Structure 1
Amino acid sequence: MAEAATVPQRANEIARRSVARGFVAVAALLVSACSTVVPRGPAPPRPTQAPPPVQRPDTGVQAGIPRDAARNRVALLVPLSGSNAGVGKSLANATQLALLDTRNEQVRITNYDTALGAAAAAQRAVADGAQLILGPLLSEDVRAVTPIARRAGVPVLAFSNDTSVAGNGVYLMGYTPSQSIERVVAYARSRGVTNFGGLVPNALYGTRASTSFLRAVESAGGRVVALQTYDRTPGGIGAAVTRMTKDAPFDGVLIADSGATAATAVPLLRRASPNTRIIGTELWNTDNGIAARPALNGAWYASVSNTLYRQYAAKYRARFGAAPYRLSSLGYDAVLLTARIARDWRAGAPFPEARLRSGEGYAGIDGAFRFGRDGVAERALEVQEIRGGTSAVVSPAPASFGR
């Protein structure tokens, strides 16, 4: 465990009782002894009172983390070792930075390494008195943590984007593909795209992306004329494009994968349908080199806003000497949310979970967000267009949610 905030230990002052009366009684006995005749020789030693035992102040030190009655305990569960340690440490740094920026003195955050076992980390956090859990990062870790947190009545703000693990005390901060697909499809439809094609990987992400894509196109009043899946193997997406082009032309094609994968498919798509608009998902926003891929010039994708993130990233680099992971903003925003609620969160009381379901939402580095009844964060997203090596906002994100 690593402490993200250091809190002075509490000491209890102990009063000491006076022993003056005992010394007066002893003095009277000594006076009486001096009037008695004694044999020659050295005088007997004078009786003395044994000193009272020394009482040490209670410093409040105990096994585990120190007692801290003035602050509420929050546990951060992230991978601090293993293959995902980089993003986990970036999340931990982000929470520390948020505490410093908000000057919050009502919350104490303790880090627990989920790489050593998410369930064990949650059990230690609950035993240490955590009243709120931030994290974990991975959906399988969320599943391991959920029953432990639920039994203890501790809400969980997870960083996963797997909506199947949300609900019943678990709230997801992660960027979900369904929201970005709905946003970019609606924008494409408003710009005249009617016939859509889709390329999705044979994976859980692809399955959920394809479902969201079909619903989004139908809701926007368009048509899906082609939808192909592919394996993430050499030549896999190329073969899917070959199958798809039999249904060309189409106005726009969603590629629900990384920017690098999309860039390999675009030249093949252009041969069959030169004017096809390429559409991406929120995955593209985590690719620092997305705008530098010439094949994606003119492509659209929806994501959280990067305006405030750039300021945060500069501050992060100045403090920690390295660039943050894009997902680290989830940790920062989770602390902003906690700090806001902590104004009305009495120390030692359970976390006021009902405040998470505020309809007006909250503001963070990634813009406005609010939790729905399903526990998934609904986010205000913008649409960006890749233009000659940069990304430009073509449809800004709303600043807040309407009633």
Structure 2
Amino acid sequence: MAEGSGRSQPGRVASLRLAVTGLALLASACVGPRGGPPPAPPAPPERPEERPNAPISQGLPQDVARHRVALLVPLSGNNAGLGRSLQNATQLAILDTNTDAIRITSYDTAGPGGALAAAERAIAEGNKLILGPLLAEDARAVAPVARKARVPVLSFSNDSSAAGGGVYLLGYSPAQSIERVVNYAKGTGITNFAGLIPSGIYGQRASTAFLRAVESAGGKVLAMHNYDARPGSMNQAIAKLAGVPYQAILIAGSAGTATVAVPVLRRAPGGKAARILGTELWNTDSAIASRPVLNGSWFASVPDGVYRQYAVKYRTRFGAAPYRLSALGYDAVLLTVRIARDWKNNTDFPASMLVDHDFGGVDGAFRFGRDGVAARALEVQEVRDGSIITVSAAPASAN
């Protein structure tokens, strides 16, 4: 468990020492004048006043002056690097806002008992808001105990199935990203679309979002094929597109997957001039600009202008580059600090203030809908000659 608070202070180790003063009674022969009274006996020593021992309480010391907020992230295991980056981001936000209103305590969701044990401990120690966890399955595990304690959960997941019932999602939604880039493509005159969709739950949600977005924009999805991790699977999916007159094709996977697929597409008659579209997953790839095969590709993302400033400040303080997703931790603290102005001490977090209110931060404007998913103001970016260029700026509001 790690601590972060509004003021940076070195750790203190409290020690209690009992000083005992010994009283020596000196007996001496006192001789008075002849015929006088005998010397008076020495006064008995005073007994020191007994003081009751102060009660010792388990867990964290009480902090009634600040709001207690828990950060649930993996601090060990496979995702420890990302968890530490999120933790660092929350500390940086506390320092940047110079707030004394909240106190953040970190709990390891990869430790014994997982996210549920971390949440139970956080709630038992008096935290009234949970930032995290990172994964959707962890958010689902935490939800019942948090809901029972009336502690809202601001998860970093983007899996909409984990939202609701006191769980709010800060993650970048694939559906929103796909809708934004499809609308932009349609605005440039593209009407015929195709899709290469990964197998699995993410692919199922991406395909549904793609079909809805194209239909809503007034275009047509002419073909959509799945691929998986088996050798040759992507080539087989692309081969099925032969003869399909698509103008743009969504590759609903990582930028690395697109890097493998695009050369094959360019060799196929229908894919020579097609516009390549990506998803929000491309935003987390720091090397995307250096992939020349992706030149001309479009994808929708949270704005990167403020993030670049944040990344410089993060590197200066922590000596390493941040994970792209760490901005979610920073923005979660900004949101909490803002609501803390109207959050009375020693009361439940005012969850009603989360819904239908505009927030902002490193990743631009966002607001939570009634479904608990953060709707974001996204921009459309293009990979162009080793750089990422904004071709359609994000709106000022997430409405």
Whole-angstrom distance in 2 between the partners of 1:213 and 1:84: 29
Amino acid at match of 1:279: L
1:251 to 239, 247, 251: 247
Question: What corresponds to 1:195 in structure 2?
Answer: 192
Q: Please state if 1:332 is matched with 2:327.
A: no
How far is the alpha carbon of 1:196 from its aligned partner? 0.4
How far is the alpha carbon of 1:46 from its aligned partner? 3.4
Q: Please state if 1:92 is matched with 2:90.
A: no
How far is the alpha carbon of 1:285 from its aligned partner? 0.8
Whole-angstrom distance in 1 between the partners of 2:66 and 2:396: 32
* 1:73-124 C-alpha deviation (Å, 9 max, x unpaired): 0000000000000000000000000000001101000000000110000000
Q: Would the aligned equivalents of 1:136 and 1:142 in 2 still touch at CA under 8 Å?
A: yes
Equivalent position SS for 1:95: helix
Whole-angstrom distance in 2 between the partners of 1:396 and 1:225: 29
How far is the alpha carbon of 1:395 from its aligned partner? 0.4
* 1:286-313 C-alpha deviation (Å, 9 max, x unpaired): 1111121121111100010000000000
Where does structure 2 lack aligned partners over 5 or more consecutive residues?
Answer: 12-35
1:81 to 48, 57, 76: 76
How far is the alpha carbon of 1:67 from its aligned partner? 1.1
Q: Please state if 1:184 is matched with 2:181.
A: yes
Equivalent position SS for 1:363: coil
Q: 1:61 to 1:384 in 2, by over 3 A?
A: farther
How far is the alpha carbon of 1:234 from its aligned partner? 2.3
How far is the alpha carbon of 1:358 from its aligned partner? 3.1
1:323 to 301, 317, 321: 321
Q: Would the aligned equivalents of 1:106 and 1:347 in 2 still touch at CA under 8 Å?
A: no
Q: Would the aligned equivalents of 1:245 and 1:269 in 2 still touch at CA under 8 Å?
A: no
Equivalent position SS for 2:242: helix
> What are the residue-to-residue correspondences of 1:1-400 with 2, within 5 Å?
1-5=1-5, 43-47=40-44, 49-54=46-51, 62-116=57-111, 117-246=114-243, 248-270=244-266, 271-273=268-270, 274-359=272-357, 361-400=358-397
Amino acid at match of 1:251: Q
How far is the alpha carbon of 1:143 from its aligned partner? 1.0
How far is the alpha carbon of 1:63 from its aligned partner? 1.7
Whole-angstrom distance in 1 between the partners of 2:105 and 2:237: 47
TM-score normalized by the length of structure 2: 0.89
**Mean CA deviation greater in 292-301 or 368-377:** 292-301
Amino acid at match of 1:68: D
Q: Would the aligned equivalents of 1:160 and 1:174 in 2 still touch at CA under 8 Å?
A: yes
Whole-angstrom distance in 2 between the partners of 1:182 and 1:283: 14
Where does structure 1 lack aligned partners over 5 or more consecutive residues?
Answer: 10-38
Question: What corresponds to 1:22 in structure 2?
Answer: none
Whole-angstrom distance in 2 between the partners of 1:130 and 1:196: 48
Whole-angstrom distance in 1 between the partners of 2:238 and 2:78: 33
Equivalent position SS for 1:263: helix
Q: Would the aligned equivalents of 2:6 and 2:94 in 1 still touch at CA under 8 Å?
A: no
Whole-angstrom distance in 2 between the partners of 1:55 and 1:218: 75
CA RMSD of superposed structures (Å) = 2.0
Q: Would the aligned equivalents of 1:259 and 1:290 in 2 still touch at CA under 8 Å?
A: yes
How far is the alpha carbon of 1:6 from its aligned partner? 7.2
Question: What corresponds to 1:25 in structure 2?
Answer: none
Whole-angstrom distance in 2 between the partners of 1:283 and 1:352: 32
Whole-angstrom distance in 1 between the partners of 2:398 and 2:228: 38
Which structure has more helix as a fraction of its residues? Answer: 1
How far is the alpha carbon of 1:53 from its aligned partner? 2.4
* 1:132-184 C-alpha deviation (Å, 9 max, x unpaired): 00000001111110011011000000000100010111000000100000000
How far is the alpha carbon of 1:263 from its aligned partner? 1.6
Equivalent position SS for 1:228: strand
TM-score normalized by the length of structure 1: 0.88
Aligned pair count?
A: 370
Amino acid at match of 1:72: H
